[in-house]
Structure 1
C-alpha cells in the first residue's frame, strides 16, 4: 500500500502538482490546504491578507477529482472565506481532502475539529481553526485493515513551539483516531503538523504507539526551495510498530508545493 501526505499549498504549483499526484499512484492521498469555490470555475483566484496576496487554484478539489477518477474523495473544509478575481469576491472553502483508491474500501471513518470550529463567514483570526480526518480501510490483498489519519496543525504567529492550544489539538487528534482504530490495526498518522520535532505533540501521539519516520530516519527537511525560512520541519508521518515499512521518502523532486510530499510504501 502506498500513502502520500502533502500540503498542497492551495494549488499554487498546479502545473506539476496534478501530474505528480496522478503519477505517484498512491492508494491513499492525504492532502492539506485544498480549495473549493462554488461557481468560480477552474482557474486562479487570489487570497488577500494584510497586504499579502497569494494565488489559489479556485477549484483544486474538483480538478483533483477529475484527474483521479478511480478514487473515492472527501473534502472537509475548516472555513469559508473570500478569494478575489480582481475586485470580484468569491466565497471559497479551505480545508482537507482525502482520496482513497476504490480497491481499498473505507470501512469506518470520522472527522472532527482539533482546534476551533467551522467558520462560515471568514477564515478567522490566527491561530485559525484546524480539522482532522481518520479512515479505516481494508486491504483485500493482504487480508487486514489499516487505519490512516491526517491533520493540518494550527499555525501560531509566535512560532512552532508547545502551547496549550497545541496540547489540546494533539489530544483531540488522538481522541479522533481512537474512535476509528481497532485493537491490532496497523496505524499511519500524517500531515502538516506545524510543530517542532521535539514538541509534546509527539509524546501525546506516542500514547498510540506511534513513531515518527521523519526524525527517526534522520531526515531534517520537509520543505522545498519555495520555502525560505528556518526551521525546515513541518510535515510528519508516524506509524505503529506493526507497520512494515518498505520505503519512506520526504520527496525532494519534483517540487509541487512549498512542502515536500511524504511518501510511504508499506506491506
Structure 2
C-alpha cells in the first residue's frame, strides 16, 4: 500500500502537482491546504492577507478528485473566507482532503477540530482553526485493518516552538486517533504539523505506539527550494510497530509545493 502526504500549498504549482500525483498513483492521498470554491468561474483566484497576495487554485479538491476516479474523495473544511477574482469576492472553503482507493472499504471515520472551531465567516486571526481527519480501512489481501490520520497543525506567527495551544492540539489529535482506531490496527499518522522535532507533540503521539519516519531516518528538511526560511521542518509521517515499511521518502524532486511530499510504501 502507498500513502502520500503533502501540504498542497493551495495548488500554486498546479502544472507540476497534478502530473506528479497521477504518476505517484497512491492508494491513500492526504492533502493539506486544499481549496474548494464551487461558484468560481476561473481556475485561479487570489488570497489576500496583510498586504500579501497568493495565487490559489479555485477548486483544487475537485481537480484532484477528478484525477482519482477510482478513489473515494473527502473534503474537511477548516474555514470559509474570501478569495478574489480581480475585485470580486468569492466565498471559498479551505482545509484537508483525503482520497482513498475504493478497493479498501472504510470501516470507521472521524473528523474534528484540533484547534479552534469551524470558521464560517472569514479566515480569522492567527492562530487559525485547524482540523484533522482519521479514516479506518480494511485491506482484504492482508486481512488487516489500517487507521490513517492527518492534520494541518496550527500556524503561529511567533514560530514553531511548543505553546499551550500546540500541546492541546496534540492531545486532541491523539484522542481522535485513539477513539477511531481498532485494537491491532496498523496506524499511519501524517501531515504538516507545523512543529519542530523536539516538540512534545511526538511524546504525545508516542503514547499511541507511533515512531516518526522523517527524523529517525536522517532527513533534515521537509521544505523545497521555494521556502526560504529556517528552520525547515514541518511535515512528518509516523507509524506503529506493526507497519512493515518497505520504502519511505521525503521527495526532493519534483518540487510541487513549498513542502516536500512524504511517500510511504508498506505492507
**TM-score calculated relative to the size of structure 2:** 0.99
Q: Specify the alignment match of 1:168 in structure 2.
A: 168
| 1:148 and 1:187 in contact (8 A); partners too | yes
- Secondary structure at 1:76's aligned position in 2? strand
Q: Specify the alignment match of 1:74 in structure 2.
A: 74
Q: Specify the alignment match of 2:27 in structure 1.
A: 27
| In 2: Cα distance, 1:186 partner to 1:139 partner | 10
Aligned residues between the structures: 267
| In 1: Cα distance, 2:200 partner to 2:186 partner | 23
| In 2: Cα distance, 1:167 partner to 1:178 partner | 17
| In 2: Cα distance, 1:265 partner to 1:199 partner | 26
| 1:41 and 1:59 in contact (8 A); partners too | no
Q: Specify the alignment match of 2:184 in structure 1.
A: 184
Q: CA RMSD in A?
A: 0.6
| In 2: Cα distance, 1:16 partner to 1:265 partner | 22
Q: Specify the alignment match of 2:148 in structure 1.
A: 148
Is the aligned partner of 1:219 residue 2:186? Answer: no
| In 1: Cα distance, 2:245 partner to 2:233 partner | 21
- Secondary structure at 1:208's aligned position in 2? coil
Note the alpha carbon deviations across 1:68-123, whole angstroms, 9 max, x for none. Answer: 11100000000000000111000000000000000111110100000000011100
| In 2: Cα distance, 1:169 partner to 1:258 partner | 24
| In 1: Cα distance, 2:41 partner to 2:236 partner | 33
Q: Specify the alignment match of 1:56 in structure 2.
A: 56
- Secondary structure at 2:159's aligned position in 1? coil
| In 1: Cα distance, 2:108 partner to 2:134 partner | 8
Equivalences for residues 86-105 of structure 1 within 5 A: 86-105=86-105
Equivalences for residues 234-253 of structure 1 within 5 A: 234-253=234-253
Could you tell me which runs of 5 or more consecutive residues in structure 2 were left unpaired when the two chains were aligned.
Answer: none
Is the aligned partner of 1:205 residue 2:205? Answer: yes
| 1:42 and 1:63 in contact (8 A); partners too | no
Note the alpha carbon deviations across 1:102-149, whole angstroms, 9 max, x for none. Answer: 011111010000000001110000000000000011111111111000
Q: Specify the alignment match of 1:36 in structure 2.
A: 36
| 1:3 and 1:265 in contact (8 A); partners too | yes
Q: Specify the alignment match of 1:117 in structure 2.
A: 117
| In 1: Cα distance, 2:232 partner to 2:24 partner | 24
Q: Which moved more, 1:123-132 or 1:59-68?
A: 59-68
Could you tell me which runs of 5 or more consecutive residues in structure 1 were left unpaired when the two chains were aligned.
Answer: none
Give the drift of 1:192. 0.0
| In 1: Cα distance, 2:138 partner to 2:27 partner | 12
Give the drift of 1:41. 3.7
| In 1: Cα distance, 2:254 partner to 2:107 partner | 33
Give the drift of 1:66. 1.1
Give the drift of 1:42. 5.0
